[in-house]
Amino acid sequence: MFSISGYLKEWFNTTKYILTQPRDFFKEMPTSGSFKEPLNFMIFTIFIASLLSTPIIMLTFADYLSEMDLSCIILVTAGAFVFSLFVMAISVPLNAFTYHILLMICGANGNFKTTLRVFCYYLSASVFILPSIGIMMLILHIAEKNGLEGGLFDIVSIVFLMAVVILFTYYAFYILFVGFSEAHRMSMKRVIFALVGIPLVINIIIAAIPMAMVFSSGFSTEACGQSTENTLPFDHEYTDTSHVESNITASYGSIPVVDGITLLKINGRRHKR
C-alpha cells in the first residue's frame, strides 16, 4: 500500500544521497529497465520545487500584492504554482533532448532514456538551490521594509546574494556533469565540452554574424559616400554658364545670329560670318 510519509522519506534519502555523493549515486544508477522510479522521483521533485519557487515569485511582486485583498492573493499564489509546475514539466524533456544531442556529438554511449534518467535525478539540485534564493530574497525584503536599504547595504546584499546563487548553481551543474559522465561512460572533459564548449561556440558564431554584417554594411556605405563626393559620373567637366548672357535671334528658316554674329553650319561645322 502506498504511503505518503514512506515515499517522502524515501525521496528525502535519495535526494540527500544525490546531493552529498553524486558520483556514487550515478555509478549505481541503472541505465536500463523500468523508468517508473526516476519518473516518480521527477514528478515529486517538480511538485516540491514548484512549492518552493512560489514564495520567490510572490516576493518578487510583493509591492503589488500589498494592494490586493486576500482572495486575489490566494488566486495569484495558485496561478504562480501552476505556472512554475507547467514550466518545469515542459522544460525537463526539452532540456534532456538538447543535452542528449550535444552528448551524442561527443561520443556518448547511452541512449536518450539514460540522459533523461540523469536529468530526472539532477532535479533534486533545484530543491537545494530554490530555498537558498528564497531565503536571500526574504532577507532583502525584510531589510528594505525596515529601512536598511541604500548605499553600502545594497551593494553588500547584492554581492552576497549573487555569490550564494553562483555557488549553488555551480554545484548543481557539477552534479549534472558527474551524472552524464558516469551514465554515458564519458570523461568529465568531454562532458564539459559537450554541454559548455559547443553551446558557447554556437553563441559566439550567432553573435558574430550580425556584428560582421553591420560592420561591413557601415564600411561599404562610408566608402560609397566618399566616392560620390570625390568623383563625377562619366568624367565630364562641367562649366557654369549661368553668368553668360547671349542674345540669340533667328526667324524660322533663317541663319541664327548670336550677339550680332551670323553662324553658318557647313559640313557639320559652325563658322562665323
Whole-angstrom Cα distance, residue 147 to residue 241? 80
**Res. 35: pLDDT tops 90:** no
Grid-cell match 557647313, residue found:
266
Q: Are 131 and 52 in contact (CB under 8 A)?
A: yes
Give the H/E segment covering residue 229. helix 198-230
Q: Using the 8-state DSSP alphabet, how is residue 235 labeled?
A: G
100: left (phi over 0), alpha (psi -120 to 50) or beta: alpha
Q: How confident is the model at residue 192 (pLDDT cuts 50, 70, 90)?
A: very high
Supply the Cα-derived Rg of the chain in whole angstroms.
38
User: Are 125 and 49 in contact, with CB atoms under 8 Å apart?
Assistant: no
pLDDT per position as a tens digit, 224-270: 655 555 554 544 444 444 444 445 455 555 555 544 444 444 444 44
What's the confidence (pLDDT) of residue 134? Answer: 64
Give the residue ranges of DSSP H helices in 21-123.
Answer: 22-28, 36-60, 62-65, 70-105, 112-122
What's the pLDDT tens digit per position in 51-90?
A: 776 666 666 666 666 666 667 767 777 777 788 778 877 8
Query: CA geometry: angle at 116 spanning 114 and 122, to 5°?
Result: 110
The mean per-residue pLDDT over the stretch 96-107 comes to: 91
Indicate the burial class of 85 (C-beta count within 10 angstroms; 0-12, 13-18, 19 or more).
middle
Compare 106 and 260 and report the one with higher pLDDT. 106
Distance CA 172, CA 122 (A): 8
The grid cell for 169 is 548553481
Give, in order, the Cα–Cα distances in Å from 269 to each of 200, 248, 256, 263, 273.
76, 18, 14, 10, 13
DSSP state of 31: S
